[in-house]
Amino acid sequence: MKRSPLLVKFIVLFLVFTSVVGVTICSITYRSYSRSMFEHYSSYAEATAHLAAALLDTKKLLEYAESLQADRDYFDMLDRLKSVRTSMGVKYLYVQMPVSDSEYIYLLDADDPGDDLGDDLEDGKTSLGVRGEIDDTFTIPMNTMITGVPLRRLDITHSEYGYLASAYTPLKDDRGVPFAWVGVDIAMENLLIFLRRYLTHIIIATMGVVVISFTALFLLIRRSVVDPVTAIAKKTVEFSQNIHNDDFEKLEIASNDEIGLLADSVNKMFDDIRGYTVKLAKETAQKERAQSELDMARSIQENVLPRTFPPFPNIPNVEICASMKAAREVGGDFYDFFVIDDEHLALVIADVSGKGIPAALFMMVARTLLRNQLLTGEPLQEVLRSVNNQLCQNNEATMFVTALVGIYNRKTHCLRYANAGHNPPVLRNGQRRAEWLPVNRGFVLAGMEDMEYIEQEVFIGESDCLILYTDGVTEAMNEEEELFGNDRLLALISDIPGDASAREFITEINEAVLSFEGNAEQTDDITLLALRRL
């Protein structure tokens, strides 16, 4: 995305602001000056009308209104009226008298200021008696006649006489009754010239103030804001390229305002990032070493457990398969199977409390002890009793193991087994009927010394399959926090085809548990061991 420089934004903002302020100031000033000028012209026109009225003989004017004949006195008044018009600089000066509601007559009408005085006297031409029509433009003079006082505002009109501002004052007879009015017309062009000239001066003055203010503000913003922010931005980019350089020079901005505070914060950020980077590098190295160690521990654990299937090619009537899926890099579950002699096979499945490295280490110890004791040929209750006592010694971590051990006789097809707090196995017969193997729970290994365990026995028929598992199977949880459960496991094993191999039993169960968990995280190790008589 294209970025706009900060200085450009300030310039645009300032221009918009000054334009609005300048227009507002010019508008307000112009209106105030216009109002003042109109008031001045109104007073000026009213004063001119009063002056003209004071120079007129109202009795003579009433006589002229009846006779409509001009004499020497008439022309004297006309000359005085022309003198007032000329000296006051007005456009028109005249006396009009209404003769009806719709008509008026001129009593006196001073000529245009360009005419010479006295011309009317020589040629005998006057406006006396000239009639005119009273229309809507005569509202103010007619109100002046009605009230007997001049209206103190200009009457602005556009007509064939031009663009005029008019004022009127009434003429009264001896009884004080208005009978005519003196009209004064001022050319609006003069007023507009003054207003335009004033507006031009205001605009020029405002532009001057704007230019001076803009220059000062531009220099101030550039020096106090834009240049420091640009320096901070460049220094930040430079820091990202020299983050590990101890000789990197920090920001040096001499400012006591928020920009200076920002620069100090950026310098502190540089120090924090460098410190965090060093710390992160150390932690990353430690994690990589720890991960390498975990990978090695996982490899060792996987290599310790039997992973070749079928494991005993020379034993044709027994099929064994197993799997373990750790919840973490290393797990606490384990399985084991091995040949004791020509007739007997040992089976072990166990679950160590806890997870991770401690559980894996305890698992290795427990597996070694169980394998060694089973190879002695002792009864299973003695095997578990001996292993339990050994694990209880120096067990400061108070860890324990649930385990189920068995010895399968390949000739009699009997399985002797003993349980130390582990889940009961499932036996699936050739008729595809699965049932729990009856077990005496027994106490967990490493929980308490000198515990007693009971050895039990079961016959494995043709095509029967024995499934040993850890609680990671039945306690697997989906996204709705629902457990896989014993009933689902028993139903699943019952539905597996009768001719399925031990490997297929393991695969079906693992896939069913994985599908059940969905996107939920695996919380416990999942371990399975299957023995099937062929």
Structural domain includes residue 237: no
* Domain that residue 390 falls in: 306-533
Q: Residue 39, Cα to own-chain centre: how many angstroms?
A: 57
Contact 446, 395 (CB under 8 A): yes
Q: Residue 440, Cα to own-chain centre: how many angstroms?
A: 63
Kindly write down the DSSP assignment for every residue of 256-323, as one continuous string: SSHHHHHHHHHHHHHHHHHHHHHHHHHHHHHHHHHHHHHHHHHHHHHHHS---SSS-TT-TTEEEEEE
Residues 87 and 117 in one domain: yes
**Number of domain units in the chain:** 3
Residues 267 and 329 in one domain: no
Q: Which of 133, 158, 193 is the last residue of a domain?
A: 193
Residues 427 and 327 in one domain: yes
Structural domain includes residue 107: yes
Residues 380 and 328 in one domain: yes
Number of C-beta neighbours around residue 57 at 10 A: 13
pLDDT of residue 482: 94
Q: What is the dihedral of CA 224, 229, 235, 236, to 10 degrees?
A: 150
Structural domain includes residue 213: no
pLDDT of residue 247: 66
Residues 47 and 36 in one domain: yes
pLDDT of residue 89: 85
Number of C-beta neighbours around residue 87 at 10 A: 10
Provide the strand spans (E) within 102-142. Answer: 103-110, 131-133
Number of C-beta neighbours around residue 287 at 10 A: 12
Residues 254 and 123 in one domain: no
Cα R_g (the chain), whole angstroms: 59
**Which tokens sit at 119?**
């011309």
Distance CA 244, CA 135 (A): 94
pLDDT of residue 42: 79
- What CATH number is attached to the domain comprising 114? 3.30.450.20
Residue type, 371: R
Structural domain includes residue 380: yes
Kindly write down the DSSP assignment for every residue of 51-65, as one continuous string: HHHHTS-HHHHHHHH
Can you tell me which residue has the tokens 């009308």? 49
- What CATH number is attached to the domain comprising 513? 3.60.40.10
Structural domain includes residue 84: yes
Residues 300 and 370 in one domain: no
Residues 324 and 284 in one domain: no
Residues 71 and 186 in one domain: yes
Residues 299 and 393 in one domain: no
Residues 151 and 286 in one domain: no
Q: Please give the model's pTM, rounded to 2 decimal places.
A: 0.54
Residues 289 and 413 in one domain: no
Structural domain includes residue 47: yes
Structural domain includes residue 125: yes
pLDDT in tens, the chain (534 residues): 555 576 677 777 777 887 888 788 878 887 887 777 777 877 888 888 888 888 898 899 998 989 999 899 999 999 999 999 988 888 889 999 998 888 999 999 987 443 443 444 445 578 898 998 888 888 888 888 888 887 766 777 777 777 888 888 999 988 889 999 998 888 877 777 877 887 788 888 888 887 888 788 778 777 777 777 777 777 777 767 777 676 667 677 767 777 777 777 777 777 777 777 778 778 878 887 766 766 676 677 667 788 888 888 888 889 999 999 888 767 788 999 999 998 999 999 999 987 777 888 888 899 999 999 999 989 999 999 999 999 999 888 889 999 999 999 999 999 999 999 999 999 998 787 899 999 998 999 999 999 999 999 999 999 999 999 999 999 999 999 999 999 999 999 999 998 899 999 999 999 999 999 999 998 888 999 999 998
